[in-house]
Amino acid sequence: MAATLAGCGAGEGAGEVTLRLVAADYGSNDANGSQGYWDGLARSFEKTHPGITVDVDVMSWKDVDREVAEMVRKGEAPDLAQIGAYADHAAEDRLYKADELLPIPTQANFLPLLARAGQVGRSQYGLPFAASTRLLFYNKGLFEKAGAKPPKTWDEIRTAAGKLKDEGVKFPFALPLGSEESQAETMMWMLAGGGGYRDVSNISYDIDSAENVATFTWLKDNLVGKGLTGPVAPAELDRQEAFDAFAQGDVGMLNGHPTLMDAAEKAGVDVGMVPLPSPDGEGRPSMGVADWMMAFKQNGHRKEIGEFLTYVYEDKNVLAFSDRYDILPVTSTATATMRDDPKHRALWPFLEELPTSELYPVGHTSWAKVSESVKKNIGKAVAPGGDPEAVLAGIARDAKDAEAAE
């Protein structure tokens, strides 16, 4: 297969080739930024692939998708981008397909759920790069002091949050519905309440469903309205602020992903984790998240891109990134290795949630506009005097308009 790929690339990328990769930063500070990971990986690759140089530019998550879009608009697309969404670029025929880049064993090694999520029109353009699921995190020390128990139901969340508030906890339940990642917090609560962004057909949006309206009405009346979400209005609270406050011991509970676990424990927080509670305590699908690698056709470096990506997705490199950031691997073999290694025991609960989780509708070009509408508006649904039904209906109208433009 490698020979076949090389043959298909005849005439492309002859001589010295420099690949440009723009990647998102998974680090929480300068000391553990992603630039170090990528620079090490690139230098290692270059030693065994003379004639190919890889330049990596790491940007913050707040900027990277927008910056890549601007590069594309200017006709200066990078060879590779590791960002949050690929569908709009695929729809404009800017990307190579996975089978134009990777040998069959590498393609087949992606976890099936993630491989399917990377498809547009049954062709895979988005290569999963990192994955995570969500659990409810709680501060064991604060819970013990307040006499609270880990919740399984929404009523138990309210009860525990009330006890934490009585003990003076700053954020009994941190509810980040600010602009940074409120589309994730929104989806977690929708799924727990029996709803979601899409209808049962998994094709059309159903954002203002009765289940979703009931979920945000409950949040407004039972958490926000009772003063259990802390001194910062949910619409003004970003995810990283909430995570930082948890690591500082100021948060009793919040929905979190694996990277929070390490940061909190290093700060001395005794962390507990349970599946996301539901109204009746019954299990619901967790939210799964995948970040994506994509390869642009503009510079014509298909063969060299394929060689680099095949190296990127070797188990040793997938696991090195997962270890560095407590992120779930995206390949079957790396997942099996992690599941069998006791040093990764803390990640096993997240691994268990992934196969049955639900991901954003990233294969739809409409998702970017829908996500922006959620970020802009969802905090209003739980604000004092807010109308959850009206807010969700407004987002639903934006989704309908975005779908019509697909």
pLDDT at 201: 67
Task: Give the strands of the sheet with 171-173, arranged side by side.
Answer: 171-173, 251-256, 135-139, 271-274
9 confidence band (pLDDT: 50, 70, 90): very low
pLDDT at 1 over 50: no
Instruction: Indicate the pairing of strand 80-83 with strand 288-295.
Output: antiparallel
The larger pLDDT score, comparing residue 259 to residue 288, is at 288
- Count the helix, strand and coil residues of the chain and give each as a percent rounded to the nearest 5: 50, 15, 35
CA 401 to mean position of chain CA atoms: 25
CA 163 to mean position of chain CA atoms: 31
**Of 136-145, 270-279, 360-369, which range is least confident?**
360-369
6 confidence band (pLDDT: 50, 70, 90): very low
Instruction: Indicate the pairing of strand 17-24 with strand 52-59.
Output: parallel
Instruction: Indicate the pairing of strand 80-83 with strand 123-124.
Output: unpaired
pLDDT at 364: 84
Alpha-helical regions (H) of 252-301: 258-266
Residue range 267-276: mean pLDDT, rounded: 95
Q: What is the dihedral of CA 261, 264, 265, 266, to 10 degrees?
A: 120
The DSSP element (H or E) to which 294 belongs, if any, is: strand 288-295
pLDDT at 44: 97
Kindly report, residue by residue over 138-177, the tens digit of the pLDDT: 999 999 999 999 999 999 999 999 999 999 999 999 999 9
Three-state SS for 330?
Answer: coil
Residue range 64-71: mean pLDDT, rounded: 93
pLDDT at 190: 97
Q: Give, as one character, the DSSP assignment of residue 94.
A: -
pLDDT at 31: 77
pLDDT at 2 over 70: no
Kindly report, residue by residue over 391-402, the tens digit of the pLDDT: 999 999 999 999
Contact 277, 165 (CB under 8 A): no
Residue 243, both tokens: 């995570």
Kindly report, residue by residue over 193-223, the tens digit of the pLDDT: 999 999 876 678 999 999 999 999 999 999 9
Query: Which among 289, 323, 292 has a CA at the least distance from the CA of 309?
Result: 292
Three-state SS for 253?
Answer: strand
13: left (phi over 0), alpha (psi -120 to 50) or beta: left
Give me the helix-helix angle, 182-192 and 210-219, nearest 10°: 110
In 47-168, where do the E strands start and end? 52-59, 80-83, 119-120, 123-124, 127-133, 135-139
Q: Give, as one character, the DSSP assignment of residue 154.
A: H
Query: Which among 165, 149, 171, 146 has a CA at the least distance from the CA of 281?
Result: 149
* Distance (Å, whole) CA 264 – CA 258: 10
Contact 75, 357 (CB under 8 A): no
The larger pLDDT score, comparing residue 62 to residue 246, is at 246
> Hunting for tokens 């691994």 — which residue is that?
351
pLDDT at 4 over 70: no
CA 356 to mean position of chain CA atoms: 16
The DSSP element (H or E) to which 295 belongs, if any, is: strand 288-295
pLDDT at 137 over 90: yes
pLDDT at 15 over 70: no
The larger pLDDT score, comparing residue 164 to residue 360, is at 164
pLDDT at 162: 98
Residues contacting residue 66 through CB under 8 Å, at least 6 positions apart = none
Kindly report, residue by residue over 50-59, the tens digit of the pLDDT: 999 999 999 9
* Distance (Å, whole) CA 171 – CA 143: 13
Radius of gyration for the alpha carbons in the chain, expressed in angstroms and rounded: 22
Q: How many helices (H) and strands (E) does the chain have?
A: 18, 11
Three-state SS for 173?
Answer: strand
pLDDT at 151: 98
- The overall average pLDDT reported for the chain is 92
* Distance (Å, whole) CA 144 – CA 228: 18
61 confidence band (pLDDT: 50, 70, 90): confident
Please provide the size of the chain in residues.
406
Q: Give, as one character, the DSSP assignment of residue 180.
A: T
Give me the helix-helix angle, 388-404 and 367-377, nearest 10°: 160
